[in-house]
Amino acid sequence: MPVSLRVKNRIPQNPRRILLLTSNLHKFAEAQTILKTFGVSIVRKPAKGIEIQSDSIEEVARVCAKNAYRRFRVPLLVEDSGLFVQSLRGFPGVYSSAIYDQVGCAGILRLLAQERQRSAKFVCALAYADKNGIRIFRGAVRGQIARRLVRGAGFGYDPVFIPSGYSKPFSALPKVKAKLSHRARAFASFGRFMEKKSKR
Ligand code: ITT
């Protein structure tokens, strides 16, 4: 989970306008759509630079958010996600980004070519940092790895991930993804937290 600490643009001071540190435009767009419904707006900061190695996506998000907050001193979010395939003992998991870059969805299909057990889950760990410290919001969605790749909407592993209760992958179900993805769940949980916070 690379996070850049090179800030060139203006940093928002409005507490309900929060930085999301990510290089992934799809991730940003999905997060923005969800948070809008809670009246929270986010500003993207490209993320390249600080990388930590960990076997936990939660730890990656937490440490990156902590380091970034030390630098920027404004409320910010760092999100780390991964695809965990049961028959591969959770692989690619924390290595999802690197594995995607190297072998893509086709590589996951090759690894599972002879496998009948195709259960998998997407997990998202969202770390929010402000003057009170770090809070973690989690989201997960269970499903199956498809037998074939279906190109369409979305990004990353969406063409091969079929959410439970559906017969098509996320790439063919953008509205479903917007409601029940790992990211939708983690950001909705953060949105509810912000709503409560604003009423205090
Ligand atoms: P940042 O670290 O800059 O935020 P990233 O794309 O590297 O962007 P992650 O490390 O969180 O983001 O994601 C790991 C990989 O998991 C990423 O390369 C995607 O291919 C995949 N991934 C994450 N969320 C996904 C989603 O909603 N749908 C499909 N693939 C996803």
Nearest CA to ligand 1 atom 28: 158
Nearest CA to ligand 1 atom 25: 156
Query: Which numbered atom of ligand 1 lies nearest the CA of 48?
Result: 3
Looking at the structure of the chain, the number of domains it has is 1
The SS3 assignment for 177 reads helix
Q: What is the C-alpha to C-alpha distance for residues 52 and 107, in angstroms, rounded to an integer?
A: 25
Digits of tens for pLDDT over the chain (200 positions)? 544 444 444 444 555 579 999 999 999 999 999 999 999 999 999 876 666 778 899 999 999 999 999 989 999 999 999 999 999 999 999 999 999 999 999 999 999 999 999 999 999 999 999 999 999 999 999 999 999 999 999 999 999 999 999 999 999 999 999 999 999 999 999 999 999 888 77
Q: Residue 82: name the closest of 96, 98, 61 by CA.
A: 96
Task: Please indicate, yes or no, whether the overall pTM of this predicted structure exceeds 0.85.
Answer: yes
Return the DSSP state at 50.
B
80 catalytic? Reply is yes
Residues with CB under 6 A from ligand 1: 1-2, 22-24, 27, 47, 80-83, 96-97, 100, 154-158, 181, 183
- Residue tagged active-site, from 55, 80, 130, 158: 80
Over the Cα atoms of the chain, what is R_g?
17
Range of the domain at 191: 5-198
CATH for 178: 3.90.950.10
Query: Which numbered atom of ligand 1 lies nearest the CA of 82?
Result: 16
